[in-house]
C-alpha cells in the first residue's frame, strides 16, 4: 500500500491560466473522490468516480472545472481560466468497493495559489 499520491504538491499560477492536477489512488481502490479545502474549513466534495465513470458532481464544480479518470486508475482535475477564488487545497481520496463503511484514504493534496 503506497498510499494516494497527488502531484504537484504546490502550484502557483497567474489568474486566467489553466492548471491540471493528478491523483494516483491506491491501486485496488475503484472509488475516487476530489475535494476542495480552504483554510480553517473541512473538505468540500467536488466529484466522485467509480472506476472510470464520473457518477456525481457538486454544484461547486463550475464549467471551468473538469475531472477525468480515463482508465479507472489515475485521475486528473483541470481548472480553466483560474480565478483568485480557486486558491485552495485540492484533495484526492480513494476507497475500495464495499458497503460504504470503508475509510477514505486521502492524499496530501495540491495547494493552488492564484496570483
Binding stretches for other proteins (CB under 8 A)? 4, 31, 33, 40-45, 48, 55-56, 91, 93, 100-109, 111
CB of 50 to other proteins, least distance (A): 8
Q: Which is nearer to other proteins, 22 or 105 (CB)?
A: 105
Q: Which is nearer to other proteins, 70 or 100 (CB)?
A: 100
Q: Which is nearer to other proteins, 58 or 80 (CB)?
A: 58
Rounded Cα distance, 100 and 107, in Å? 19
**Residue 85, C-alpha cell as written in the block:** 477564488
Rounded Cα distance, 18 and 79, in Å? 6
Rounded Cα distance, 88 and 111, in Å? 6
Amino acid at each position: 500500500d503506497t498510499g494516494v499520491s497527488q502531484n504537484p504538491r504546490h502550484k502557483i499560477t497567474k489568474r486566467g491560466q489553466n492548471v491540471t492536477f493528478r491523483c494516483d489512488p491506491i491501486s485496488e481502490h475503484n472509488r475516487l473522490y476530489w475535494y476542495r479545502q480552504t483554510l480553517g474549513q473541512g473538505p468540500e466534495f467536488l466529484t466522485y468516480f467509480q472506476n472510470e465513470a464520473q457518477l456525481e458532481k457538486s454544484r461547486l464544480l463550475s464549467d471551468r472545472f473538469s475531472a477525468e479518470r480515463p482508465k479507472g486508475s489515475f485521475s486528473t482535475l483541470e481548472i480553466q481560466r483560474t480565478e483568485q477564488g480557486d486558491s485552495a487545497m485540492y484533495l484526492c481520496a480513494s476507497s475500495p468497493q464495499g458497503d460504504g463503511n470503508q475509510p477514505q484514504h486521502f492524499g496530501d493534496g495540491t495547494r493552488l495559489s492564484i496570483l
